[in-house]
Amino acid sequence: MKAEELFDVRGLATIVTGGASGIGLACAEVMAANEARVTLMDRNSIELEKAVGRLTADGLDVRGEVVDVTDRVRLNLAFDAAATAYGRIDVVFVNAGIGGGPGFLTAQGVRNPDAAFENISDERWNTAVAGNLSSVFWSIQAAVRHMKPHKSGRIIVTTSIAALKTESGVGTPYMPVKAGAAHLVKQAALELAGYGILVNAIAPGPFLTNISGGKMFEPAVRSYHERVVPMKRLAQPDEIKGLALFLASPASSYITGTQIVIDGGATLGSAD
C-alpha cells in the first residue's frame, strides 16, 4: 500500500473544535491540505474568521462555526449544521480546551499561595471541568449521534500529558479533568468499537500555542520547558500534523482506545 492510500483522508467530513488556534488549527490545516472537508468550531469569532479566511484563500474546503463547546445546545446545533453541509460527519477532533492557569509553583520554583490546593475556588474548579471534561463528553455525544447511523467514524480527543503525570506549574484542576477525558476516551472506545467508531486521544506535552493567554511564550515558562524536556525544546503546533493525519486515516484502522503521547520525552522525567 502506498503512503498516499494509507493516509488518504480525501472528502472526509471533519470537525475540529478549538480550530482557530494552535493544535486545533494545525489539525484542521493538515486535514484540509489533504482534501478533507473541514468545519472549524471556535468561540473566538475573530480568530476563527481569520483562520477560515486564510485557508479558504489557499483553495481549501473549510467552513467555520462560532460556538462555545461548553454550551451543549449551541454545540449540537453546530454539529447539525456541519452534518447538513456535508451529508455526514466522518472525523471529529475534540480539541477545544483551556489551560490550567498558575500551578502551586512558579516557573522559578517559588510557591504561589493563590494556587495552593486549599485556595482553589469553586469557580476555577468548575471552569476546568466545564472547559476540559464536560465539553469533551458533549462533543463525543454529538459526534456519535451523527456517526452511529453510518457505522463508521473517528473521534480524536486532545488530552494532555497532564492526564498521565502530576505538574507543579499547572493549576491543580487541570490534571484530574484531563485524566477524566483520557478515561472517557477508553470507555467510549469500548462501547463504540462495535459500531465502527474508533476513539483515541492525543496527549501533547508543551506546545508553543496561545494556551493560557500565551503563557508558553513567557521567557521563564519557555526556558523551564527547554531545561526539563529531554528534547530540550517545546513543540511547534505543526508537529501535531503527522499524528492527527495518522489517527484520522486508514493507517490507524485497528487502533482504538489509545492515548498517544507527543511530548519530546517529557513523560520520561526531567532531563535537567
What residues line the site for ligand NAD (CB under 6 A)?
18, 20-24, 42-44, 47, 68-70, 95-98, 131, 135, 158, 160, 204, 206-207, 209-211, 216
Residue among 14 and 135 whose Cβ is closer to ligand NAD: 135
Residue among 151 and 232 whose Cβ is closer to ligand NAD: 232
Q: How far is the CB of 26 from ligand NAD (least distance, A)?
A: 8
Q: How far is the CB of 233 from ligand NAD (least distance, A)?
A: 12
Residue among 96 and 144 whose Cβ is closer to ligand NAD: 96
For residue 145, what are the contacts with CB-CB under 8 A and spacing of at least 6?
79
Residue among 48 and 197 whose Cβ is closer to ligand NAD: 48
Alpha helices in the chain (DSSP H): 3-6, 22-33, 45-57, 72-86, 122-129, 135-147, 174-192, 211-214, 219-228, 241-248
8 A C-beta contact, residue 67 and residue 74? yes
Q: How far is the CB of 247 from ligand NAD (least distance, A)?
A: 14
Pairing of strands 37-42, 91-94: unpaired
**Within a 10 A sphere around the Cβ of 187, how many other Cβ atoms?**
12
Q: How far is the CB of 68 from ligand NAD (least distance, A)?
A: 4
